[in-house]
Amino acid sequence: MMTTKQSKINLVAITLVFIVITIGTVNAATVIVDDSGGAAYTTIQQAIDNATAGDTIIVNFGTYTEKIHVNKSLTIISKSGNPGNSIVQAIDSSDSVFHITADEVKINGFHVKDSVERYWEDSVPGIYLDGAHNSVISNNQFSNIYYGIVLESSGNNTLSNNIATYNIGGIHLIDSNNNILDNNTLLNNSENGIFFEHSIYNHLINNTAFNSVDGIRLTKSQNNFLNNNIVSNNSCGIYLETSDENTLDDNIALNNFCGIRLIGSSYCILKNNTASNNNDGIYLQDSCSNNTLINNNASNNHAGISLRVFNKNNTLSYNKANSNNEHGILLFSSNNNILRGNTASNNDIGIFLKYSNRNLLENNTGSNKKYGIYHSDSKYNTLSNNKINGNVFLKLLAFSSLLIVIMFSTSYILWNKIDKKRSILSTSMILLLPLLPTLIGVMHELHLLETIISIHPWNYMLIRILEFGLPAAVIIFYGYTTGDKIFSTLSGVFLIPLFSIYAEVLMEMLNPYFILNLGHWLRWNAIVAIFPFMVLYGLTGYFGARRTKVSLIISICIAIFILVIISGID
């Protein structure tokens, strides 16, 4: 049984606890503010000055023109909870409306407005948390203010269900960490909806940002988590600038110029995001590395997923990039990336590589309008088990048929001047021989040869031999066997110009406007570039047709010289 002494000790302890609770309850007062004079205070600042930490200040309907400094842990709420009924506007448009320097402050249910000037480098906010922590800012509206809410050096705060419209910016975090932004709406702000600078470990959940320059922007901010946000009708929906190790999950970017954009940002994870009806769906630019893009849907944009300029070691897996006007996935000057299991269908080009080397493409699928996989000036890429195609074979068939018709028509015209057999053979050499390097080049550009020829550096020399050496061999053989100096020389002279025209026509899908654009074909820089090869191939045909051992050796040497030059250029 409990002794008498123990009973007294327990009784004293219970009494002390009761006293502490009672004192706390008594101290937590509720204060009323009414600008019409129907309460103890007519201004919010008067109530704050006379309140004790832990008090609740209830603000009646009205318009309050004040500069409010909250330096105590208080709850400040409007009576109705409807921001339209309790308006707080700036007494000085060059200063904030609420300036909070205490922790554990709650502000709820106000319309804060009319603080629009900017001084020094700082934005003038409606509510300014200055080194404040564990506070809750909820259910407020902001308009005609530089920034609706600014947090500077503030952490573990919650901003929820706020609406910021027609300001310079909506919400701005500076050097502020571990905050939660939930269900805020940012509309028609002229700069940013939400803007982070040097801020880490924040959570942005279920926010909506419309009609701003940037819907959500992070600059030099790491380890933030963005989930289920909707960004629409902005210049850029979500923009990460030199911000590493952020996670973007289940966000929706619609009708922006750029849906999701990363510049100089690495080790980020983008998963399950939807980017549609933008100019660029998902865009990585300028040294983005080691990012992971998985299960994103970048469809119905002008361009789907783009990696431009010095992006490396990124992994794109199981993304959908369908029905984009240009490409599904683009790698431009981007090396050592992995594209695995992506679907790129109904684009002009499924996957497009330009100046991009040593990338791995495997198990990608899709069917596209022009090209499946198309590369230009790209080397040492590895393709494995891709099932992604375009309509290149139909184009090649159509174009080849057109050339044959032209060849026979030309041959018929020449029948009266030279014999029938020679006319067909001669026009074939001029018109059809350039089709040989064209087919090889186009098949190489579209990666169609790489299922036959494994990708090693020396095999690019083999492709150049097939592309430019094989036609030279045909010209030499024709000239040596027929002795026809005129057509052998002409075959060499017209080889490269017609090859260039055929290749560009095929790549442009036989566009009539493109074909008839004489200004394009007569560019002086193009003429200067191909003129030496016209001379060299012409000499190859001429010396081959002289049918002597010395001339044959000269012809072969010229052909080898051409290959060396072209390989050096490439």
Range from 219-223, 383-387, 401-405 that averages highest in pLDDT:
219-223
Least confident of 52-61, 64-73, 371-380, 528-537: 371-380
Minimum mean pLDDT range among 26-30, 49-53, 287-291: 26-30
Element at 414 (helix H, strand E): helix 392-414
Identify any residues that bridge with 29 across adjacent strands, giving them in sequence order.
Answer: none
In this prediction, residue 312 carries a pLDDT of 96
Residue 533 lies in a domain: no
Q: What is the number of residues in the chain?
A: 570
Task: Domain count for the chain, please give it.
Answer: 1
Give the amino acid at 317.
S
Beta-sheet strands, E only, within 333-446: 338-340, 349-354, 360-362, 365-367, 371-376, 382-384, 387-389
pLDDT score for 524: 64
pLDDT of residue 15: 47
Say which residue, 436 or 296, is predicted with more confidence.
296
Fill in the amino acid letter for 387. Answer: K
Q: Is residue 285 part of a domain?
A: yes
pTM of the entire structure? 0.76
Taking 90 as the threshold, does the pLDDT of residue 59 lie above it?
yes
Residue 469 has pLDDT above 90, yes or no: no
pLDDT at residue number 401: 65
Number of Cα atoms under 13 Å in the Cβ half of residue 175: 6
Name all contacts of 287-295 with Cβ < 8 Å and 24+ positions apart: 287/311, 288/262, 288/263, 288/264, 288/314, 289/313, 289/314, 290/266, 290/314, 291/262, 291/265, 291/266, 291/267, 291/315, 292/268, 292/317, 293/317, 293/319, 294/269, 294/270, 294/318, 294/319, 295/271, 295/319
pLDDT class of 191 with cuts at 50, 70, 90? very high
For the domain that residue 284 is a member of, what is the CATH number?
2.160.20.10
What's the pLDDT at 239? 98
Q: What pLDDT does residue 402 have?
A: 61
Using the predicted structure, report yes or no on whether residue 389 has a pLDDT greater than 80. no
CB 493 within 8 A of CB 538: yes
Residue 19 has pLDDT above 50, yes or no: no
Residue 121 lies in a domain: yes
State the average pLDDT for the chain: 85
210 found inside a domain: yes
Please give the residue range of the domain that contains residue 99.
30-293
**Angstrom distances, CA of residue 342 to CA of 188, 226, 287, 542:** 36, 23, 22, 51
Q: What are phi and psi of 67, to 5 degrees?
A: -110, 115
pLDDT at residue 123 is higher than 80: no
User: Strand pairing partners for 197?
Assistant: 174, 219
Q: Could you please report the per-residue DSSP string of 268-286? A: -EEES-EEESSSEEEEEES
Q: Residue 198 falls within a domain, yes or no?
A: yes
**For range 377-389, the mean pLDDT:** 84
Residue 520: closest CA among 540, 539, 505: 505
Assess whether pLDDT exceeds 80 at residue 519. Answer: no
Among the ranges 89-103, 339-353, 387-401, which has the highest mean pLDDT value?
A: 339-353
Q: Quick check: is 37 in a domain?
A: yes
Q: What is the pLDDT of residue 215?
A: 98
Summarize pLDDT for 535-553 with one digit per residue, the tens: 999 999 999 999 999 999 9
Tens of pLDDT, residues 159-188: 999 999 999 999 999 999 999 999 999 999
Give yes or no for a contact between 287 and 314, defined as CB atoms under 8 angstroms apart: no
Given this model, what pLDDT does residue 437 score?
A: 80
Banded pLDDT at 528 (limits 50, 70, 90) = confident
DSSP secondary structure of 223-244: S-EEES-EEESSSEEEEEES--
- State yes or no: pLDDT of 453 exceeds 60: no
Domain membership of residue 275 (yes or no) is: yes
Residue 559, domain member (yes or no): no
Q: Which one has a higher pLDDT value, 467 or 392? A: 467
